[in-house]
Amino acid sequence: MEYSILAGLCEYLEKTPARLKKVSAIARILRRTDDSALPAVVLLLQGRVFPPWHEKEIGIAGQLMLKIVSASTGYSETDIQKHYKKLGDFGLVIEKLASEKKQKTLFSKGLTVSKVVENLQKLAYTEGQGSQERKGQLVSELLSSAQPTEAKYIVRTILGELRMGVEKGVVRDAIAKAYFSEIVWDEKKIIRLLGKQNKKILDHDSIVEKLSGKEKITKKEYDAFRERNTVDKGKITDRGLWRAKGGYDYVLAEDNEESRKIKKRINDAVEWAWFLRPDYGEVALLARQKGLEGLEKASLEVGKPVEVLLAEKAPSLEEAIKAFDKPAIEVKFDGARAQIHKKGKEIWIYTRRLENITKQFPDLVDLAQKCVRARECIIEGELMAFDPKTSKPLPFQALSQRIHRKYDIPQMAMEIPVQMHLFDAIHIDGRQLFDLSLGKRRRMLEDIIVPVKGRFDLAEQVITKDIKAAEGFYRKAIEAGQEGVMVKNLEASYQPGRRVAGGWLKVKPTLETLDAAIIGGLWGTGKRAGWIGSLILGIRKPNTSEFLVCGMLGTGIKEKKGNKDDLTFEELTKMLKPYIYHDEGGEVKIRPKIVIEVAYEEIQKSPNYDSGYALRFPRFIRLRDDKGIEDADDLDRLEKIYRMQKGKTDQKGRTEQKGRTEQKGKTEQKGGNI
């Protein structure tokens, strides 16, 4: 397939905010893509060249891109930087420069989708000495054959900045639309359908005929409709719904309810296959080649990650216990979800976001090889870092250091050892366990694990409906520095990729919001060009007017005004501009004048910020224009919440002392490293 077709589609998707139109446009292209190009097209549409779990990444950042764009257009790096500053996007820069230069170098040969994916995949495998140059050549080869629009999307794909609003749900719906019938039941829509040409339509239960009986359609119209299209009368079958293999373009359903049921079945089948094989390229092929039955019978593959069951929030421990007949309570560990796959001697480890972290955890691989008795299996648990001296759990950041480590991994594994708390099994020795109850899955898990205490063990479980016993367990979990507890329904099956009512309920203390000052920001790029796109948050140094950085925030502020209470980036930028006192390299420093209320998931220790702490996933709640800067929260309050959140009251002395020394070092650096 020509890459220009895909670039044209990308251009359309970028300009078209309406979700349904995006879905239809993608479906049209999917229908005309042949099997061999289908996986590549689906990946590129999502801005990827590898499926999500693949270990490799393209690995080209702004600086190298600057050099590449300069080399392939002949403009100096300074010139390109100037254009970049104005346009805020390398994609737009290359498009502009390529259109100016097109007579000389462009249009030498047509690019195919496969060639683009091939070169971009090679980028990820280009390592070692001279790799920068070779990467440059791979990109330049594409850019020199690309038309301006194609060049724009190649560059954006490389930088991971596609921004077309093609999220997972859009791809799922597009696959459903491409390969299965459209279900119509509404009279008006059916009447509109009469104007179609060369379509295959299943007039289920003679719905059109019935309408003509009601004189909504004249006999003449009906005859003309039948002449222009192939209209059959008959039952709705799986095969009939499978448009890709001779089924119908449109199926007329009796009423809204029937239509909803059929649509849901199609969407669920596509989604189910995605949960088990999270690569829409593969799912698209399966839908086209095997239809509904193929999707519904999709099976997981040991070695490739599966979308996991998620937890819902419970309002209180009491309500969580009441929700199930047989509740099992487990500690909610403060680590990272890990999915361990075993096939013979081979082990893979994936995170909940399907990242492959096998290489980073040779110690865990070793434990899994020794302690799992099944020939092949997929088991799950929470991975946690612990202090080798005290054996106490370490906060999530320690584990995060291990997840992101690329070198000296064995050394790091000794400094920050990990422990695995296993809590579920979804596949054991050729058997998918989704339909079994948690109670049964847990017993099967126990049967295949030879535990090593403190390193590789099953998560402790208390089965009780007694609120006193549950509260005792909860308190112990919080005091041990864990997040809270999970209350699980022992009778529930496993539903991959879903937060299901009746499955898992998480109970953790809620955190109060903070009133922080805006003390800096980063100029946005792309759609946010010209606005301050991320805010640097400050917390007051106690009893002073000085502010210390405690996080970056971009969530909760809107690009467009949806309702009157929304705050847009544009409004905020206008508000902040008078207080900017330093503007360099895309970053601004702002005098603390404006206070905002911020919610967040958690407070973490952070060596990167001069407060010594970072708000995890902060989001904007509202402007506190009723508050002066002296009313903004200070570091003492933040530390108090930090201790509460961690249940650190018992270890208060230790935590405070550690916090103070870290912080002292940092505040002296002033300004901090953002």
Catalytic residues: 332
- Kindly state whether residue 602 participates in binding ligand AMP, applying the rule CB under 6 A: no
Indicate the pairing of strand 327-332 with strand 250-252: unpaired
C-beta of 257 vs 446, nearer to ligand AMP: 446
**Which one, 192 or 392, has the nearer CB to ligand AMP?**
392
457: part of which helix (H) or strand (E)? strand 456-458
Select from 248, 255, 209, 257 the least CA-distant residue to 229: 248
Residue 328 CB, shortest distance to ligand AMP, in Å, is: 9
Q: What are phi and psi of 624, to 5 degrees?
A: -110, 70
SS3 (DSSP) at 538: strand
CA 266 to CA 269: how far, in whole Å?
5
Phi, psi of 551 (to 5 degrees): 160, 170
Q: Is 486 a residue that touches ligand AMP (CB under 6 A)?
A: yes
CB 475, min distance to ligand AMP, A: 16
Which region, judged by CB under 6 A, interacts with ligand AMP, from 54-62, 119-127, 331-339, 490-498? 331-339
Q: Is 458 in the site for ligand AMP (CB under 6 A)?
A: no
Among 307, 330, 515, 639, binds ligand AMP (CB under 6 A): 330
Using CB under 6 A, count the residues that bind ligand AMP. 13
Radius of gyration (Cα) for the chain, nearest Å?
28
CB of 637 to ligand AMP, least distance (A): 24
Q: Which of residues 380-409 bind ligand AMP (CB under 6 A)?
A: 382
Q: Do 602 and 616 touch, CB atoms closer than 8 A? A: yes
Residue 349 in the binding site for ligand AMP (CB under 6 A)? no
Q: Which is nearer to ligand AMP, 209 or 460 (CB)?
A: 460
Confirm or reject binding of residue 337 to ligand AMP (CB under 6 A): yes
Q: Which is nearer to ligand AMP, 274 or 423 (CB)?
A: 423
Among 179, 250, 350, 423, contact with ligand AMP (rule: CB under 6 A): 423
**According to the binding rule CB under 6 A, does residue 459 interact with ligand AMP?**
yes
Rounded to a whole number of angstroms, the minimum distance from the CB of residue 559 to ligand AMP is 27
- By CB under 6 A, residue 311 contacts ligand AMP: yes
Q: What is the largest CA-CA distance in the chain?
A: 88
Of the candidates 273, 299, 309, 310, the one whose C-alpha atom is nearest the C-alpha of residue 288 is: 273
* DSSP H or E run through 421: strand 418-428
The nearest distance, CB 278 to ligand AMP, in angstroms, is 16
CB of 457 to ligand AMP, least distance (A): 12
Alpha helical stretches, state H, 486-631: 569-576
Q: Between 459 and 532, name the residue whose CB sits nearer to ligand AMP.
A: 459
Minimum CB separation from ligand AMP for residue 650, in Å?
21
Of 337 and 405, CB closest to ligand AMP? 337
Who's near 265: CB < 8 A, 6+ residues apart? 292
Give yes or no for residue 473 binding ligand AMP (CB under 6 A): no
List the Cα angle 334/337/341 in 5-degree steps.
150
Segment contacting ligand AMP by CB under 6 A, of 315-323, 327-335, 392-400, 445-453? 327-335
Number of CB atoms found within 10 A of residue 542's CB: 11
- CB of 533 within 8 A of CB of 587? no
Gap between the Cα atoms of 539 and 610, Å rounded? 10
Q: Report the residue number, 183 or 321, with the smaller CB distance to ligand AMP.
A: 321
Q: Give the integer Cα–Cα distance in Å for 465 and 318.
A: 9
Closest-CA residue to 608 (of 540, 671, 519, 535): 671
> How many helices, marked H, and strands, marked E, lie in the chain?
25, 24
Residue closer to ligand AMP, measured from CB, 283 or 399: 399
Stretch that binds ligand AMP, among 27-35, 220-228, 324-332, 517-525 (CB under 6 A): 324-332
Report, in Å, the least distance between residue 425 CB and ligand AMP: 13
Contacts of ligand AMP in 532-561 (CB under 6 A):
none
> Any idea which residue has 């902040």 for tokens?
576
Residue 579 tokens, joined:
């207080």
Residue nearest ligand AMP (C-beta atom): 337
Write the single-letter amino acid at 278: P
Which residue type sits at 366? Answer: D
Part of the chain binding ligand AMP (CB under 6 A), chosen from 30-38, 240-248, 328-336, 356-364 = 328-336
Contact at 8 Å (CB) between 252 and 201? yes
Which of these segments, 38-46, 330-338, 558-566, 608-616, binds ligand AMP (CB under 6 A)? 330-338
- Measure the N-to-C terminal CA separation of the chain; round to a whole number of Å: 44
Q: E-assigned strands of 301-417? A: 312-313, 327-332, 336-343, 346-351, 376-385
The token pair at 240 is: 């009939």
Question: Side-chain half-sphere of 216: how many Cα atoms within 13 Å?
Answer: 14
Do 143 and 154 touch, CB atoms closer than 8 A? Answer: yes
Verify binding: residue 440, ligand AMP, rule CB under 6 A: no
Among 177, 332, 442, 646, binds ligand AMP (CB under 6 A): 332
Specify the residue, 382 or 515, whose C-beta has the smaller distance to ligand AMP. Answer: 382
Q: Which stretch binds ligand AMP (CB under 6 A): 65-73, 198-206, 326-334, 435-443?
A: 326-334
Nearer Cβ to ligand AMP (282/424): 424
Interface with ligand AMP in residues 490-509 (CB under 6 A): 506
| Residues engaged in binding ligand AMP (CB under 6 A) | 310-311, 330-333, 337, 352, 382, 423, 459, 486, 506
